[in-house]
Structure 1
Amino acid sequence: MNIPYTIDANAAAMIMPMHIAVSQQGRIMGAGPLIRRLLGDAQYLQEVLVADMPRFRQNPGNDVLAEFRSGRRVLMRVRGHDDLILRGHGVPICDQITLLNFGFGMALPHAIKTFSLSEADFSPSDNAIELLFMYEASRAIMGEISRTNEALEQERREAERMSVTDVLTGLLNRRGFYIECGKLAAAGGTQELAMAVLDLDLFKEVNDSLGHAAGDEVLVFVSEAIRSGVRRGDIVARVGGDEFLILISAFDSRRSLRAILERIIERIEVPIPLDGATARLSASVGVTTFSMSLGCDLADVIRLADAALYKAKAAGGGGVRMSDED
């Protein structure tokens, strides 16, 4: 026995938040709370939704409401949101009113993101709830993967940085020095460059009399003295206990080159206050000039500068010796 019944607007809104009641002229007579967010202040269905099916694209004059009233599924595109296609079915509830009910289908993730939808927006029995849970879980997983990848990338960058950095002083190490010089060679240019090898004088005495911890403090001080004495574009590295490499990329003359290195020595000779003591030392520098190119053998260049360093040491230290000086 069939018993006729009606359902009020509140109940319809609860179980069909995506329903629209329209007149034969397409006027919106009522709508569920979720679809209302898409409709806004629209008075007629065609202001917001347009049929997205071949026969309607070929003949826009086709009667969409007749299609709904026939019970067939209709795809509707939301104006202003080309990626949002709704699936809809309809049923006539009287001669003048057709009840349409929609779902997001495959457009659900896009709708969730666009309209910030949550579980509360859907009917408790809607299959979209399961899809929403899957979407949220997928988003959480992807977020975690993204955070993990970012952490791994940060660790990779830090490992790469540490592989070219002297841990004590923060200067480049030998590997980092060669890498930076290689970049300079790859960039081209024919300007004259200078390679300097700097070695501390009296550093062994500091270590022997004040201890290795004091020696480490001295190396940090010396590193800052060298760093502050060079210019942008110059390359500095600590490559041994108290040995440093300096590539000077711009100088006006041999006299100005010597002046740069002598000023660095003067900075190093400033007494270094330590815990309960003062360290005094100097530095010797050997330097050679050359032109950088992809075929340049940096090891040979450094050997020339190193040979000049030994001459500076033999002369009593605390000075600069060019590789071509007797």
Structure 2
Amino acid sequence: MMMSMREISSIANEICPMHVVINHEGRITGVGPTLRKLRPDTEWLGSRFFRIFDLARPRRVRSTEDLIKTAGAKLHLNFRDAPQTGLKGVLAPFPEGKGGFINLSFGISVLEAVRDYDLTSADFSPTDLTIEMLYLVEAKSAAMEASRQLNLRLQGAKIAAEEQAFTDTLTGVKNRRAMDHILNRLIASGRDFSLMHVDLDFFKEVNDTLGHAAGDTVLQRVAKLMVQCTRQNDTVARVGGDEFVLIFEGLIDRIQLSGIARRLISSIEEPIPFGDKTCKISASAGTSLSAAFSEGLDAATLLHQADVALYAAKNAGRARHFFYQPGMEEQDPEA
């Protein structure tokens, strides 16, 4: 027996309270109760999905049709208005391109849920929050539906495990563990790559004068800028309080890398709003190239060289980018 849309909506609200339903025009026709709580003043129904959300990845998405084609892939979104909370989800399409159901239960961090919205366990399904990716269509048979739900549970569990193990909860980019894994994989593959170590200048002053909440806002904004300045197959990782590492697979051209560093430093220098205040920082960067090693390349040495180049940039006046050169250690008092 086919269920009514009201019954489907009621079930969806219970098992997946962080969801959005869109039609073929990209307009929102349904939204979960917890998502409404994040933006209680938003006119959800009838609004265009892309007016409320900024889709960071996949970057190829430019339209509703593109969005529906991402079915099964991880989506990285942000609210367009402040606070620009990061969300992750998966879209399940309706038949005949008539829209889709977007499960956002994969994405909001516990830190943001508590700090920004005072969410509690009552705002989420009592079941595993990472297993439900709903296809709200009538199954042809009970066996097919059971098989599909099992596959969705397994895929959801895999996504959740990967995100938890390799993601920095504050910024949404990779963490040090992920960076180590990717470096070891690249070294084993023998492919050329470059590693850029970026450290924020004057970040301590932001924390000291405006508080750690302002510092968190700065880190989230910087992480977003780094993602925008890199390619989809590159890696952005937060490896310390205000330290980031960017890994560029297959890219060792110094001119291109210098251009990326220049754009990144320039964008980070733009004032970052925090309430009625502005946070002003800059960034220094150092880069090491895998191609500089004729043999015996290892991650620790590559990271050390990028770090030496970074501090050479800081000692030269900050807001600069240097490539590692032999002999730099002699000029670095911390080497």
Q: 1:293 to 1:156 in 2, by over 3 A?
A: farther
Within 5 A, what are the aligned runs for 1:137-156?
A: 151=153, 154-156=156-158
For residues 150 and 295 of structure 2, what CA distance do their matches in structure 1 show? 39
Output the CA distance in 2 between the equivalents of 1:152 and 1:290: 37
- Percent identity, aligned pairs only, is 40
Aligned partners of 1:164 and 1:294: how far apart in 2?
29
Q: What amino acid maps onto 2:206 in structure 1?
A: V
Equivalent in 164, 167, 171 of residue 165 of structure 1: 167
Per the TM alignment, residue 312 of structure 1 is displaced from its structure 2 partner at its CA by 1.4
Q: CA deviation at 1:246?
A: 0.8
Map of 1:286 onto structure 2: 286
Is the 2:187–2:298 contact (alpha carbons within 8 Å) kept by the matching residues of 1? no
Cross-structure match for 1:323: 324
CA shift at 1:256, angstroms?
2.7
Asked if 1:300 corresponds to 2:301, the answer is: yes
Contact (CA 8 Å) 2:313, 2:320: kept in 1 or not? yes
One-letter amino acid of the counterpart of residue 259, structure 2:
A
Helix, strand or coil for the counterpart of 1:246?
A: strand
1:143, CA displacement in angstroms?
7.8
**Residues 297 and 270 of structure 1: CA distance in aligned 2, closer, same or farther (over 3 Å):** same
**1:180 is matched with which residue: 179, 182, 190?**
182
Tell me the SS of whatever aligns to 2:215. helix
Structure 1 SS opposite 2:325? coil
CA contact (8 A) 2:284 2:321 kept: yes
Partner letter of residue 156 of structure 2?
A: Q
Question: Whole-Å Cα distance in 1 between the matches of residues 232 and 249 of structure 2?
Answer: 9
Query: How far off its partner does 1:294 sit?
Result: 11
Q: Which residue of 2 aligns with 1:207?
A: 207
Distance 1:150 1:268, change over 3 A: same
CA contact (8 A) 1:168 1:216 kept: yes
Aligned to 1:14: none
Distance in 1 of aligned mates of 2:154 and 2:249: 35
State the shift of 1:323 in Å.
1.2
Amino acid at match of 1:324: Q
Q: Name the CA distance, whole Å, in 1 between partners of 2:241 and 2:179.
A: 16
The whole-number CA distance in structure 1 between the counterparts of 2:180 and 2:294 is 13
Equivalences for residues 220-231 of structure 1 within 5 A: 220-231=220-231
Task: Give the stretch that moved more between structures: 224-233 or 302-311.
Answer: 224-233
Deviations 1:27-73 (A, max 9, x none): xxxxxxxxxxxxxxxxxxxxxxxxxxxxxxxxxxxxxxxxxxxxxxx
1:313 corresponds in structure 2 to 314
In our comparison, the structure showing a higher alpha carbon Rg is: 1
2:252/2:289 contact within 8 Å kept: no
Contact preservation (8 Å) 2:184, 2:299 = no
Q: Please state how far the C-alpha of 1:262 moved relative to its aligned partner.
A: 1.3
Instruction: Flag the 1:149–1:259 CA change in 2: closer, same or farther, 3 A.
Output: closer
The number of residue pairs the alignment matches comes to 186
- CA change 1:266–1:178 in 2 (3 A) is same
Alpha-carbon distance between aligned partners in 1 of 2:305 and 2:153, rounded to the nearest angstrom: 44
Structure-1 residue corresponding to 2:238: 238
Contact 1:283 1:317 survives alignment (8 Å): yes
1:120-162 CA distances to partner (integer Å, 9 max, x unpaired)? xxxxxxxxxxxxxxxxxxx989987985785466234302321
**TM superposition shift of 1:248:** 1.9
Secondary structure (helix, strand or coil) at the match of 2:290 reads strand
Distance, in Å, in 1 between the alignment partners of 2:181 and 2:295 is 12
Using the size of structure 1 for normalisation, the TM-score is 0.51
SS of match in other structure, 2:170: coil
CA displacement at 1:306 relative to structure 2: 0.6
* TM-score for both structures, normalised by structure 2: 0.49
SS at match of 1:283: strand
SS of the aligned residue for 2:289 comes to strand
Q: Distance in 1 between matches of 2:251 and 2:181?
A: 22
- Once residues 255 and 151 of structure 2 are traced to their aligned partners in structure 1, the CA distance between those partners, rounded to angstroms, is 52
**Worse-matched range after superposition: 247-256 or 290-299:** 290-299
SS at match of 1:171: coil
Q: Name the aligned partner's letter for residue 209 of structure 2.
A: S
Q: Which runs of 5+ in 1 are unaligned?
A: 1-138
Q: 1:155 to 1:322 in 2, by over 3 A?
A: same
- In the alignment, residue 165 of structure 2 is paired with which amino acid? S
CA distance in 1, matches of 2:281, 2:198: 13
Query: Is the 1:201–1:317 contact (alpha carbons within 8 Å) kept by the matching residues of 2?
Result: yes
SS of match in other structure, 1:218: helix
Indicate conservation of the 8 Å contact 1:171/1:223, yes or no.
yes
* Aligned amino acid, residue 160 of structure 2: E
CA distance in structure 2 between the partners assigned to 1:251 and 1:144 by the alignment: 45
1:272–1:280 CA contact under 8 A, matched in 2: yes
Amino acid at match of 1:277: K
Deviation at 1:234, TM superposition (A): 1.8
**Mapped contact 1:269–1:281 kept (Cα < 8 A):** yes
